[in-house]
A and B are shown apart, each in its own frame.
Chain A
Amino acid sequence: MNADWEQLKTILWLRWRLTTNQWRRTKGVGPALAIITAVAGVIITVAAGLGGFFGGVFGLATARPEVIMLVWDILVMAFLFIWMVSLITELQRSEMIDLSRLLHLPVSLNGIFVINYLTSLASLSVAVFLPAALGLSLGLLGSHGWRMALLPPLVLAFLFMVTAWAYHLRGWLMVLMVNPRRRRTVIVTMTMSLVLVAQLPNLFINVIWRPWQHKTAPPKLVAVPVPGSPTNGIMVTNGSLATNAPSPTNQLAVIDPGTQPNPWALYLQVHNYVPLLWLSKGAQGLADQRVWPAIWATLGALTIGLAGMRRAYVSTMRFYQGSESAGVAKPLTPAPVTGPPQRNFMERQIPVVPEEVAALSLAFFRSLSRAPEAKMAFLSNVIVIVVLGIMMISHPFPPPGDTAKLFIATGGALFSLLGPLQILCNQFGFDREGFRALVLLPVSRRRVLLGKNLALAPVVLALGFLLLVALTFMLHLTPLLVLAGLVQMGAFYLVLCVVGNFASSLAPYRMAPGSLKPSKVPAKTMVLIFLTHLLFPVLMAPAFLAPALAFGVNRWLGWPMGLVDVAASLVLLGLTTLFYSVCLNPLAGFLERREKDVLLVVSQEVE
């Protein structure tokens, strides 16, 4: 027992040393940042606690139970969202205390497991949620009476449930990620899931609830007796909802004239079955002077949390002791040799393009198509397109006029260039150690840049095309507008390439493998990244000259807008191609001068 305690103290000391050394290594701004973070952390924690308390005492003193439930829902959802973001960030870096580094030592695995769990709680989301939730509970205790004393244990049980399963999930994902190829898939899937989950409220409001439709068909208010309900409450009758009650025995019910179930009723029902919402359900019950929902919620959350903890323990121990396979690839069976070897992807030719440029662009393309960071950057775009599309379809927008369509097509085309901006402006940062091969290549740097730009082009243009097609379906764009949009996209992709090539050589930064998280970015590079994103609309603004010209010519001369738009876009394409070809040689020279510095930055491994 004493040995265990000594080792636990040593592990805590280790964590402290690792953290202080990490801050020490960043020098200059590092310690200052550490102090600012610590002070901000304390302020946020205290503010959250006080805010919760005063909110509970004054803000919710006379609030109805369902309002209290909504407040808890918002708090829980905000916590879960930040918790998930930090979970994904954690997954993208190595563990602070990796059990595998300790297994050969005479150490208590149980102790490390517990310490690792407790340290996983040290996060911003918990630092804000816990004081806020406890403060709110105490505030409600002051304003709503003794029953609210059941809330703090419920809050702790809820937190235990979430963190225990998150700990299990993290362990499980880490087991999967031992296989490097699967690691990429896991990170991409998790990040995309987060993006989708973040869009759920948006989709719920815009596609399922559609509150603007309820405004047009006002619900009918009727008095409905609620048996066994001594005070104000809510009641659902035939899929309808009672939101207010004038007396202990009669309540006002909002009867939806439609036959479809009311989303509010659905929302309330969901609280019975989703454990993550039991905290709000319990708080609502307590506000309604019912203690059993809170007691059941606490017991339920504790049981689920214990089950999660047990699973995490068993699977972690089994994995680290090698009883659980992380998925070792089966031996490859050599294919029977039946003739000359098949031509593979890397042997393909690209028409008109010189051999070296073709080889470079195919290699970059293949590498990017397997990089989770690139997939994430592009998939985020697709998700935004899909979500925007759903919103636009479900919203009763008035159909845009011909002039608006002209500009929408251009805007849509340019929007697709925003996604790959980070990759374009840090082309060598994604190569990491691979950039060494580029430096060693006996190829002109002009061709290297051409290869880089060409590798990204198909994905960017395909995404833009997808967006334009989606817009065509939604807004009935004419084929000429789509064509003009495509031409504009090509033209301004060239402009972005020039900017991207310059930024990539000037201020590269290493990307952590498998993430969109830059490692150790100097301040000047940070400023440059910020400026690039800030200047994006300015850089793209000339593209609107084409629709503006089409609009003007149509107004004054009566020529068809679509044709003028295409013609003006082609002129723009000519100009940007000229600009690109003029810039390419100086950019290549700049890369040649900077390549050793770039190599130093992108190949330096930083944890």
Chain B
Amino acid sequence: MTAAIATKGLTRQFGTVRAVDGLDLEVPRGTFYGFLGPNGAGKSTTIKMLTGLLAPTGGTMSVLGEDLTDRRKAREVKRRIGVVPENLALFDNLTAREYLTFIGRMYLMPPGVVRERTQELLTMMSLENEEKKLTMEYSHGMKKKLALAAALIPNPELLFLDEPFEGVDAVASRVLRDILKRVVERGATVFLTSHVLEIVEKLCTQVGVIAKGKLVYQGSMAAVRESGSLEETFIKAVGGDDHESQKLSWLES
């Protein structure tokens, strides 16, 4: 079986800046993959390319065995993936139910199925009582939950999540984690970026670390645990210096 995601020398250049520089990535199907990296490392750019939001300037990539840069195939691949993009891509003047209905219809799902899944997702995400509110009136966490519900509604084979836990409260975070675990248990693949290393450590089976556009670490979570904690592996991989904070001597005065 082909990998869920496979890239070879994937590159994206903006002017003189290489946001992603020759990325070789392989994510097997059924994996919970954590894609980590410091701010500005190229995580979101990679997700944008893998979801067809941004064209690469070099290299090759396949998603669910298909080339997403081929416009004829891109639409078919997109039918099989769910995405929670960085900016959430919600419509401010829609209610949660309307938004989920819209997404369901765009995936050409039968109206009865859309209705049923919408109700279940709204209940699970504790959004059913906020039904009359427009999404612009939602808190950041509620918007995140709605975006995830929208990504889940077509029951995708591959789920891309860009910072899904950022700004989400502990209760909602627990719900999201449980849902994502179930998604992976039924054989789907989850590819997520996050700054919350504890959550990645708990959820993911594979991790990759990107720094300055290059993949600097890739391995299983078991291998990470053998060599210490994820935090240590991450800092070592990106070349972080934990003595930097000692420079602000005036803080002690």
A residues contacting B by CB (< 8 A) are 3, 6-7, 10, 13-14, 17-18, 21-22, 25, 100-108, 321-323, 325, 327-328, 330-331, 605-607
Contact = CB atoms under 8 A, between A and B. Distances in A.
Contact of A322 (B53, B76, B94): B53
Contacts of B48: 322
17 contacts: A6-B108, A7-B105, A10-B105, A10-B106, A14-B94, A17-B94, A18-B91, A18-B94, A21-B95, A25-B93, A106-B75, A106-B79, A106-B107, A330-B17, A605-B136, A607-B93, A607-B136
Contacts of A21: 93-95, 98, 134
Contact of B91 (A14, A323, A327): A14
Contact of B55 (A14, A321, A605): A321
B85 A105 contact: no
Given A104-B53, A106-B78, A7 B106 contact: yes
B78 A104 contact: yes
Majority SS at the chain A contact face: loop
A17 B98 contact: yes
A104 B83 contact: yes
Nearest to B103: A105
Given A13-B102, A104-B52, A328-B14, 6 more contacts: A7-B105, A14-B91, A100-B87, A104-B89, A322-B54, A605-B136
Contacts of A328: 14-15, 17
Interface in B52-80: 52-55, 75-76, 78-79
A552 B108 CA distance: 83
Contacts of B12: 322
Contact of B106 (A18, A107, A321, A327): A107
A605 B134 CA distance: 13
B93 A18 contact: yes
B198 interface: no
Contacts of B49: 322
A14 to B, nearest CB: 6
B51 A104 contact: yes
Given A101-B89, A104-B89, A331 B102 contact: no
Of A10, A106, A323, A325, most B-chain CB atoms within 10 Å: A106
A204 B79 CA distance: 58
A14 B85 CA distance: 20
Interface of B: 12, 14-17, 48-49, 51-55, 75-76, 78-79, 83, 85, 87, 89-95, 98, 102-103, 105-108, 134, 136
Contacts, number: 87
Nearest to B77: A106
A327 B12 CA distance: 14
Contacts of A18: 91, 93-94
A25 B134 contact: yes
A602 B90 CA distance: 23
B192 to A, nearest CB: 15
Contacts of A6: 105, 108
Of A3, A105, A607, most B-chain CB atoms within 10 Å: A105
Contacts of A321: 52-55
Contact of B108 (A3, A102, A104, A331): A3
Contacts of B136: 605-607
A103 B136 CA distance: 21
Nearest to B79: A106
A489 to B, nearest CB: 43
A103 B77 CA distance: 12
Contacts of B75: 106-108
B55 A100 contact: no
Contacts of B103: 105
Contacts of B89: 100-102, 104
A103 B92 contact: no
Contacts of A3: 108
A106 B89 CA distance: 14
A337 B95 CA distance: 54
A383 B92 CA distance: 38
Contacts of B14: 325, 328
Given A14-B91, A607-B93, A322 B55 contact: yes
A263 B55 CA distance: 53
B35 to A, nearest CB: 17
